[in-house]
A and B are shown apart, each in its own frame.
Chain A
Amino acid sequence: QVQLQESGPGLVKPSETLSLTCSVSGVSISSYYWSWIRQFPGMRLEWLGYIHDNGNNNYNPSLNSRVSMSVDTSKNQFSLRLTSVTAADTAMYYCARDSSSRGNDYWGQGILVTVSS
């Protein structure tokens, strides 16, 4: 059974870097692409990007190069890094599997990240 679990700090100061990790179980991380998606207060969803351990990635240009993602195959984990955060980055952050045929078919439970001093 495929399971994903986000981890990381729930509070980040403005101008600092948000770093989250997604631990994957039940499947090899090398077999799929992996996405990060966030949901703002008020429900709006934003796809941040995806990554594969072969180096392929695609990021949302709306983030103005603040985002990067990486994969650690030894730990079956992938990570998100978002620099220069502001209050507008306060959201629930989800990691999700990205199947070539089905899209985002498995999601983590999400982690709430608040940007505040």
Chain B
Amino acid sequence: EIVLTQSPATLSLSPGDRATLSCRASQSVSSSLAWFQQRPGQAPSLLIYDASTRATGIPARFSGSGSGTDFTLTINNLEPEDFAVYFCQQRYFWPRTFGQGTRVEIK
């Protein structure tokens, strides 16, 4: 199965900073990569699909890029509600797999 490796495990930043999260696939998944945000006590919610398309209602400060094996989620001007855990997921191969998550915490 496809292994997705996210880095870093934890990102310590301040409100207003830029967050750059990485997701690397063990083989090419084309652009079939999604990003999810999970706040404490909540289910994951879709942020980005097809590597770079924002889901409905997602603010423009969230952007995704990449294709093949290397993907990036960028969050500009971090808001207090953005401090959460972020997961990537590939849906190019069966079974679908997730990365282990990156926690964005307040510095």
In the complex, whether B106 has a CB less than 8 A from a CB of chain A is: no
**B55 to A105, Cβ gap below 8 A?**
yes
Choose among B1, B42, B100 the residue that contacts A44 (Cβ–Cβ < 8 A).
B100
In the complex, whether A75 has a CB less than 8 A from a CB of chain B is: no
A60-76 at interface with B (beta carbon < 8 Å) = 60-62
Bound: A79/B36 CA distance, A: 24
In the complex, whether A30 has a CB less than 8 A from a CB of chain B is: no
The interface size bin for chain A is 20 to 34
Shortest beta-carbon distance from B76 to chain A in Å: 23
> What chain A residues lie within 8 Å of B72 (beta carbons)?
none
Which candidate, A9-17, A21-29, A82-90, A106-114, is the interface stretch facing chain B?
Answer: A106-114
**B95 to A107, Cβ gap below 8 A?**
no
Bound: A102/B89 CA distance, A: 12
Binding site for A on B (CB under 8 A): 1, 34, 36, 42-46, 49, 55, 85, 87, 89, 91, 94-98, 100-101
> What chain A residues lie within 8 Å of B36 (beta carbons)?
104
**A43 to B44, Cβ gap below 8 A?**
no
In the complex, whether A78 has a CB less than 8 A from a CB of chain B is: no
> What chain B residues lie within 8 Å of A105 (beta carbons)?
46, 49, 55
Total of A-B residue pairs, C-beta within 8 Å: 51
Bound: A61/B95 CA distance, A: 8
**B95 to A104, Cβ gap below 8 A?**
no
> What chain B residues lie within 8 Å of A47 (beta carbons)?
89, 95-98
Shortest beta-carbon distance from A76 to chain B in Å: 19
**A107 to B45, Cβ gap below 8 A?**
yes
In the complex, whether A58 has a CB less than 8 A from a CB of chain B is: yes
Choose among A45, A61, A109 the residue that contacts B98 (Cβ–Cβ < 8 A).
A45
Bound: A102/B49 CA distance, A: 6
> What chain A residues lie within 8 Å of B1 (beta carbons)?
62
Q: Which residue of B lies closest to A110 (CB)?
A: B43
In the complex, whether A34 has a CB less than 8 A from a CB of chain B is: no
**A62 to B95, Cβ gap below 8 A?**
yes
**A109 to B43, Cβ gap below 8 A?**
yes
Choose among A45, A58, A59, A60 the residue that contacts B87 (Cβ–Cβ < 8 A).
A45
